[in-house]
């Protein structure tokens, strides 16, 4: 082990020169040996360990004493080589076990654009689907497609078959539900409803009709122009509902100047006219909700 001695100006010349020579030799040999020096330590000094592949260490602290490896190219190359050799390709996952970390397997040529690394540890080609295969997923047979254009899905998506659904009909969900105590059931494919509806008597609201009758004139008079009183006067006259007959059996109305009436008749027979007014034009009422018309297609094949 080389030595490092501090030079003192009071040393004799022969002593000073001997220390300086040893120091120069020690610096030149970077304190090579099988152990780190323990005296005359200076931060920044180096030591080559002959027992550790001649790796060089530098003193970075004296309190506490700390020697740190100064990596050389050969050391780095050896460490990298050793480390790389210890790493293997990762193990892909299975349905029952997780995979393990490692190097990604190298992809083959011509796979740079449409391949991906699967979790099972292999490179797989991205599946390319035809338009029909995409439509089979998005719009399988029985599904409905709506559009605000005049596009025909039979033309848009070759290999599929579509039919236009009934015009003027809205969709309602199949099933059973209850509203205000009444249960309604809609089976798949049922149709119902109407655009305009004629109100029936049963559907109309309960109501009254008001009307008026005419007044019948039931007045009449029996009078005389003589001074003997009405009953004994030969000059009786009748009007209105009153008439009379004389002793000869003749019936008189109006003026009867021949005799005193034998019979007085009051005829109040009459009738009343009852009139009510009618309204409405018997037209069906609008029965549709606010709407926007679209084209609706159903896939059949």
Residue 159 CA neighbour count, 13 Å, CB half = 9
**Are 40 and 8 a contacting pair, CB within 8 Å?**
no
Residue 93 has pLDDT above 50, yes or no: yes
> What does the pLDDT look like over 209-221, one tens digit per residue?
777 777 777 877 7
**DSSP characters over 94-141:** -SSS--B--BPPPPPTT-TTTEEE-TTSSEEEPPPPPHHHHHHHHS-T
Q: What pLDDT, on the 0 to 100 scale, is given for residue 248? A: 63
> What does the pLDDT look like over 273-296, one tens digit per residue?
878 878 888 889 998 889 899 999
As a whole number, the mean pLDDT across the chain is: 84
The C-alpha angle with vertex 51 and arms to 46 and 53, in degrees rounded to 5, equals 80
pTM for the model:
0.47
Which of the two residues, 143 and 239, has the higher pLDDT score? 143
Distance CA 168, CA 150 (A): 16
């Amino acid at each position: 082990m080389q030595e490092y001695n501090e030079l003192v100006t009071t040393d004799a010349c022969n002593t000073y020169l001997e220390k300086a020579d040893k120091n120069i030799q020690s610096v030149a040999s970077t304190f090579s040996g099988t152990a780190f020096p323990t005296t005359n330590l200076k931060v920044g000094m180096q030591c080559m360990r002959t027992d550790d592949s001649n790796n060089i260490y530098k003193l970075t602290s004296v309190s506490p004493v700390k020697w740190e490896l100064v990596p050389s190219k050969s050391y780095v190359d050896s460490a990298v080589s050793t480390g790389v050799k210890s790493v293997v390709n990762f193990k892909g996952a299975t349905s029952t076990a997780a995979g393990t970390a490692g190097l990604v397997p190298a992809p083959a040529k011509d796979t740079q654009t449409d391949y991906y690394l699967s979790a099972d540890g292999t490179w797989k080609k991205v599946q390319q689907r035809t338009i029909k295969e995409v439509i089979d997923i998005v719009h399988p047979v029985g599904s409905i497609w709506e559009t605000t254009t005049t596009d025909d899905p039979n033309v848009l998506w070759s290999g599929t078959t579509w039919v236009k659904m009934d015009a003027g009909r809205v969709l309602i969900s199949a099933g059973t539900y209850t509203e205000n105590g009444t249960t309604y059931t809609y089976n798949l494919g049922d149709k119902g409803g109407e655009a305009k509806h004629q109100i029936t008597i049963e559907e109309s609201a309960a109501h009254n009709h008001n009307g008026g009758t005419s007044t019948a004139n039931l007045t009449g008079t029996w009078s005389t122009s003589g001074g003997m009183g009405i009953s004994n006067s030969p000059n009786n006259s009748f009007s209105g509902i009153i008439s009379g007959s004389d002793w000869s059996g003749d019936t008189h109305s109006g003026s009867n100047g021949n005799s005193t009436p034998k019979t007085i008749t009051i005829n109040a027979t009459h009738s009343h006219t009852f009139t009510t007014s009618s309204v409405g034009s018997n037209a069906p009422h609008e029965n549709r909700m606010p709407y926007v018309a679209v084209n609706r297609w159903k896939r059949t094949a």
